Structure 1
Amino acid sequence: MWKAIRRGTNGHRVFLRLLVPNMLFLLLPLLVGWVIYNKTLQEMEKEVTTGNMHLLQQSRDILDRRFAEISSIATQLAGDPRIMQFQPVTEPFEGANTYRILDTRKSLYNYGLTNNFIFSYFVLYKNSELVLTENSTYGLEEFTRYFQYSGMELGDWKSTFLERYHTRKVLPARDVDVRGGHYSLLTYIQSLGFPGAPQGAIAVTADNREIQKLLGGLDLSGGGWAYITDENGAVVSEISSGTPNGRIDRGSLPGKEGSVPMKIGSRDMLVTYTTSAYNAWTYMVAQPAHVVLEKVLYIKKITFTMAFIFLAAGLLIAYLIAYRNSRPLRSIIETIMERTDGEAAAGSSGSPGSPGADAYRFIRESVSRLIDNNRELQEKMKAQAPLLQAALFERLLKGEYVSLEDHRALLQHVGVETEGNYFAVAILQLRGYDGGLNRFDLEALDVKRVMVKDILHEALGASAHWHDVAEDRIALLFVFRFAHTQHIREYLAEAAFRISETIQHRLYLATRFAIGGVHEDLLNVSRSYEEARQTLEYLLWRNRSGPMQFEELPIEHNSYYYPSDFELRLGNLAKAGDLQAVESMLQELYDINFKERRLSVPMLRLFMNEMWGTIVKMLPQVGMDERNVFEQMKPFSGDMSSFEGLDHNYRALVETYRHVCGFVGEHKKSQNVQLMDNIIRLLQDGYVDQELCLEAVADRMDISKGYLSQFFKEQTGVNFSDYLESLRMTQAKVLLADTDLPVYEIAERVGYSSSNTFCRAFKRINGISTTAYRRSHAG
């Protein structure tokens, strides 16, 4: 009987669906307006918090990269033999020490010229109280008068910088007077020496104004504020439109990021926060609730006005166009809602009682908005491509990649093709700017670089990629498919000569063309780049122009071979657990320093000390027990008085690296097993959730979508979406066969937002409709 009634009322379904909402508009207009107002309130809060979260995450990522750069600079300085040689010195201005101080200070590079985030840096020594900066030398007492921290006396300087051992320590922003100028600076400290026995410190100061600029895009009107706290809760930097009314305890905020309403003092505030995985800093913004709701109040007024206007016309329009127009319009709107994940909820609920023109306008605006958003996204991606390409090229030259797949995928993503068997790097320097640069020289260089790149494009076409490494220098990456290195060197020499002659003829500009070695592996591009840099340094020393290859350099046997980029890459490979690549690099270092160069025992001892220093710096980063490794190192630390002892010491170093790689590999393996168990458990327990998807699971696991998709496929052999769909379909079959539940309820129970979507998916996977499946399993 119930089925007959349903069949009899099918013809009036659309009419009733249009009539009832209009009656509700007549009887309960204020209630509807209040519901819409609350929905709008939620959406506006979501919009504000999403915008704040995006800006905080962007600021977090930028600062993480900045402090990673500062950490790399401090590590390089701490490992510089010229810096290390003054640690035991107590009388720095006696004898040859004065010349060494002058030579060391001249070698210090002013990083502030290329990185506006860095204000300055200085090196302090505990034993001599000597302070070196990029442009001068001071005693500690004199330097504290030149570089005055607010509220920090001489004793505080010693206690903070020299008496304690710091690793990647960041002091919060503090007012500093530098030669009469007032600044707000953060201070990064990396101690020299060893834990328990600090010998000095390297301090890098960062301009707090650059951090405040990152937070400047937040709306802090009406007494809002934003600040950054370190892992101990100390405020690193802050910005506000007034005096902040109280602080927030980080422990009271759930998770690593989110947005929560809170009562701070006597005011209702909306707090958005996120935490950095790099240094555990928390980025937080608080806004008064009334500021967030200003737009909502305006929308409330518009909503109620429009509701009253359409009350009178609602029933008439419903009677006239109900049957003819409602069905196709509802179908289209429902499709749009499904594809936009419910963003059109207000349009869906209002469409049955709206005129046909409104529905068409809704569809047109929705499609138009999607097209505009897609076009805007494409334009932003195109605008960011050159910057991304430059950053990835820089990482390639520095050897910061570990995985060959990462190399090729990232570079191909930005249009740099690296398919080939052999690779070489060359550096082209424009002469005439060795004496320094001023504003006019930089403007002229910009023009000449553009003209030089046109010449490179004419001469090399797509066979080489180039990148600016300095104002007057361009690095070129050559990729070759043929396998005879002698032919490659001849080609490079001929191309370098031809390009140099063309530049001289067209621009009347002399050049130096330094060519690195030819290597088989893309991972060795950084090595070729370092060889090109050595060749260029030799040309600069000899004041020569024209091309020169690395193989033409005179062989020197008076120093060991362990360049900084080689050390950085060796550490990265060890931290990644790539034992094969680590052993290959260690064997290469052994062949060069123990066999080819035939170094003296003292020089080999210096080489071994630096090699062990690399391990000491790396142990905290991989989470190993330092005391255990130090105990293993003790038997070898004193046996370096002969070639046999040094050779034995090097073998012990290789074993230590093997131990580190094994530890990293086991750690990764255990993490992967635990991660996979957590993902499977989450899918099996939560597949009924309609919001469960790749992005939602990635957020809960705190990993990226791309990594989750690749990791899941590697571990199970099945795509993530296929696995989740299989779980839902398995349960759906059980419910269809064993229960009389309607299809729409089964769809909800297995995680689908609509019965139409569920039915299409069921037939696509099983080759049979839900009705036919239920009929075939009927008792």
Structure 2
Amino acid sequence: MKRRFAITQIFQHNLFIQFFLTYVGLLLIPLVLGIGVNSALVQQFQASLEENKLAVLRQTRDVIEGTIDDLEWRMFQIAGSPRLSRLITEYRTTGVQDSLLTRELVASLNTYTLYSSNLKSTFYLYLQEPPLILTPYSVYRHEDFTEDKTYFLMDGISIEDWHDRIFSRYHRREFYPVRRVTIEDFTSKPMIPYVQSLPVAPISQGTEITGAIVYLLGEDEFRSLLGNLNLPPGGWAFIADAQNQILTQEGESPLSEQGGRSLPVFQGREGLLSLSLEGTDYFLIYTTSEYGWKYAAYLPAEPVLQPVYRLQQISLLTLMGSMLISMAVASIISYRRARPLQQLLREIGDVLDSSSPGKSSGIQALGTGVQQLISQSRHLQLQLERQEAVNQGLLVNRLLHGSFRSKNEMQSFLEYLKITITENCFVAMVMSLQGFRTLDTVSMIDEMNRTKVVLKALIHNTFPGRVFLSENQEEQIALILMAEQERGGCYWSGLDDQLEGIQRDFEEIYHGRLVIGIGTPKAEILEIAASFEEAKQALQSWKPGTSRDQIYFTQDLVNPEEYYYPIELEIRLSNAVRAGDEQALEQGLATLCHENFERRKISHTRCRYLYHEVYGTYRKLRDSLSGDLAGASAAIPPEAEISGEPESLETLFQQFRTITRQLSGAKRSHNKELIQGITGYLRDRYTDPGLGLSMVASRFSITESYLSFFFKEQTGENFSNYIESLRIDQAVQLLKTTDAGIHGIAQMVGYNNDKTFRRVFKKLKGLSPSEFRQEYSQRRMV
């Protein structure tokens, strides 16, 4: 009785049902997954079947294509034989056949048999003048090939019709379907004819066909290659040319004889199609060659998938049995888990009832906790968005003030912010909000902030995705405008209209003026600091009461009474020295001299002031880098010797150059060690098919983009091209010194795909691997 009461209490609180449903729900997951796996089993089996059969078809394709390449090469050799040309020319001139020349030609033909192929083949050289048929072993006249004589017989076509077909039109590397042919050994064999008319060059109107080369390729090897497919009962494999003419086949065709046994339309170069022919389902697996030939196999679906269906039935029965057993176990476990919680729930209820008059439960506390978590998540998201804006503002400020030491440092910062800059033209602007001269109240500050938000929105709408913004001062916004320009200039068409649109829309919302100072465009974003300085000078030249609110920087704005050494230029010089960038340093020094001695032509007194500022920069650099320097302490000219010429600063400039060269040397030493380590690693691991930017970057703890840039900078060669060169150079040695097949060599040098290996080899060496090996063998024989 007591036990029954306990169970009743458990069910009253739904604890047993909750546990049981939870366990059953968990059990349903593997059940559903099992059903899904079973349904995916057929697809996986089809994919495996497709890959296995495609591998055989690709192997068949590669073997046959290699034979065709060999055949065409030898055909061109026959057609270009000097003896053949002399024989035809002398006969046409004298009407007499040169027997000695004919024998020499026959003797030379023996070298053009397809020795490298397992196909039992022979060939015939048909000539109209003289009327001869030459083989590698014999010479025949046309009248020797008749139905009465068995030198050459072909099923389905008479000798006369065959000759007419050869000489009636021009054949350009044409194949004919397999036929049984009786040749000189008086044995009937299934052969695939290949015909090429002479001359081989494209024939023009009125050019006479002088003959033809006919190769007869044994079909047995073709069929043995297709036999490797292990076709099931009812299966059919075939090889068809580019005109869908079936050359040879294995098995019985399921295609109807009506309609010319038409083949289906193949989708792509290779793949698997599901077809239904006369009530029977088939899988059609196919691949195509560069010549347009099709290598395909029809596989009846029922015998192919029967083992999979049987496995599905067994696995489903096993899953259902396991489910029933698991539900029984789940009910027992649910009962045992629910019992100890009964007392706990009763105690919780007693506590809640005693602590509050109303209904209270732990769910309320849980709801409060969830709300707090949501609130914290929203707050964190807001902080992240604010941090992103801060980071972008930091980027803009560093660009505008020239704070990046080098292009690599800037690129790393852009990668950190996930920003990509593809533009090649940049200009800095400063927009000033007129009417907010005093911000002495909270309302005025709020009004200023709202105004900036509106102005930023107008800027982004006008230049979507092409602008960086930063708040320069309380009433100013600085921006960097970017564009992709073609070669020949860096300018913006229609920029005035766009800026006037921003000013017009802004003034419609706020009855104030928006004044814009615009610097000169730059081709490098690292030069934007100079454009920003110009924009500020342009803005400072604006006077209230003028009608023009867009001020472009011009030479007229330069004040000759003031020397030029803004903080941005000082930062550029300091960064160039610290980075060991001699080119950037020279650019900065050239800018300093140009601005002061050519544009402003500063006085002797101004030159002395400039000297002291530059010398202060030098002292700060020397003190901060004292541990990295050695001997950078040449004499500095006294004040009395300072003139108004740039030469007076040359000794000081030399100190900058000395420090930069020392730091550059240390950087080059580090770069040399790094590139030696990378190239050594590539030489050791080039046989790994997975070798790439990701693997090497992870090995040396650098980013992929920096690795690509650094490798190109140090070696002058692309990273991928370097790996290809390593692999192909080793492949060349293997082709010279071993008898390994092309597939094996490709795998030994790091290629999983033979086609990719052949393509890269031909791109670098100008020949295919088989052609290279053949040419090398011939050179060795000579």
TM-score of Structure 1 vs Structure 2, range by shorter chain:
0.3 to 0.5
Q: TM-score, normalised by structure 1?
A: 0.41
